[in-house]
Amino acid sequence: MFYTLGMPLPETSSESTNTKTNLWGRISEGRGIDELWSQFSADTRAGYSFYGKDLDWDEINKLPWWHRSLHIAKGLFLAMFYKLTPPRRIILLIAFFMLVFSGFKFDFPDKSHVEVRFELFAALLFLLLLALELADKVTMKRDLEIAREIQSWLVPSLPPAVQNADVAFSTRPQNSVAGDYYDAFYPLGNSAGNEKLFLVIADVAGKSIPAALLMATFQASLRTITGEGVPLPELVLRLNRYAAAHSLDGRRFTTALLAEYDPATRRLEYINAGHNNPILKRKNGTVERLEIGGVPLGIAAESQFEIGSVNLGSGDLLLLFTDGMVDAFNHSGEEFGDPRLVSLVKSLSGQNAQQSMQYLMQQVDTFVGATRQFDDITCLVLRCQ
């Protein structure tokens, strides 16, 4: 068979297949069907949980079982409806009206009839609403990415060098920005071994942008006060007074574990301000918890705090973590839990700080599976050599 010069050859079956594959690859971003379904399921559960918070479940559970589905569907629709802006609510109602009344047929005496078809217009209105909501989301996501980049400047990207020890840390925001904070630094800027290492992990009540803003002010206050070389008890008192002045009558409090580690003597002094009790695993396998301190920062300006101390030895491991780690749950609603975390820490043997941190985070990921992350997750590991 001959073809005229300059005319394109017909597309072969392999070329057609490649085109379809490339198109599907762009749509799915290279994800497999199982991964896409898992992500869709996680998004669906998260969306149901988000809108379900507005429902009065106590009243719904009092209804006969055959009435509950209708009330749940109605409640979810109204929860979604009232989260739209007023103009978009009107567009949604018009689209539903067109969809419901489309297909009506009017017969006239002369045997002529008129059929009303509004499906296309309703679909266009739904598409318009989707486009408007998507534009808002993309704009917000872009702003959050910028905020995330700024927030990353406030925490260390690399751990400091520590005499006869190593440090590792990891954080994973529930959203683009987080209310968790961690740090490991030498306050007066001296080299490792010549000064105490300051360790901190904190969790601001709340999530996303409000918590991230308070986290930034906490970081600025902490860095300023530690730069003055004040003792740990005084530092915590000053942080608490500042937090109380900006906590909206205690509603925006901050839990924190603040500690000073002396590499020369391997002595750790700490104050636990209402935070999850850090786990100290000794070389012989025994576990201790760092509990001494007081209430969260910002609850009351006059709060007092006790200071605790512990001596570390070669082979000991200290884990600081936020509640997002133990509160993580799987698709069945089961929490990861503090006992499970303690058991995993006990199973660690000769791993360094980085390996220990990666192992623990991996175990949380395996437990959670495809369930969407509920809270910020942060951990910091100090391993004595």
pLDDT of 349 strictly over 70: yes
Please give the residue that has the higher pLDDT: either 348 or 332.
Answer: 348
pLDDT in tens, 131-180: 999 888 888 778 777 777 777 778 888 889 988 899 999 888 877 667 78
pLDDT in tens, 49-95: 888 888 888 888 888 888 888 888 888 889 888 889 999 999 999 99
| pLDDT value of residue 252 | 80
pLDDT in tens, 269-295: 999 999 999 999 999 989 999 999 999
Where is average pLDDT lowest: 80-89, 142-151, 214-223, 228-237?
142-151
pLDDT of 246 strictly over 50: yes
| Domains along the chain with CATH numbers | 32-149 (no CATH), 158-384 (3.60.40.10)
- 272, 276, 278, 284: CA torsion to nearest 10: 130
* Alpha-helix runs per DSSP H in 202-322: 208-226, 232-245
Confidence of residue 191 (pLDDT cuts 50, 70, 90): very low
Q: Residue 138 contacts by C-beta under 8 Å, 6 or more apart in sequence? A: none
| pLDDT value of residue 215 | 85
Query: Among residues of the chain, what percentage have pLDDT more than 70?
Result: 89
Query: Nearest 5°: phi and psi at 311?
Result: -100, 130
Q: Residue 316 contacts by C-beta under 8 Å, 6 or more apart in sequence? A: 280, 281, 282, 283, 383, 384
Residue 51, H or E segment? helix 33-52
Q: Residue 282 contacts by C-beta under 8 Å, 6 or more apart in sequence? A: 288, 313, 315, 316
Q: Residue 214 contacts by C-beta under 8 Å, 6 or more apart in sequence? A: 179, 204, 206, 246, 252, 254
* C-alpha to C-alpha distance for 175 and 364, rounded to whole angstroms: 17
- Comparing CA positions, the residue from 379, 375, 309 lying closest to residue 344 is 379
| pLDDT value of residue 294 | 93
| pLDDT value of residue 29 | 79
Q: Residue 310 contacts by C-beta under 8 Å, 6 or more apart in sequence? A: 267, 268, 270, 280, 288, 290
| pLDDT value of residue 1 | 42
Cα-based angle 288, 294, 300 (whole degrees, multiple of 5):
160
**DSSP per-residue codes, 71-127:** HHHHHHHHHHHTTS-HHHHHHHHHHHHHHHHTT-EEE-TTS-EEE---HHHHHHHHH
- 73, 78, 81, 83: CA torsion to nearest 10: -120
pLDDT in tens, 352-364: 999 999 999 999 9
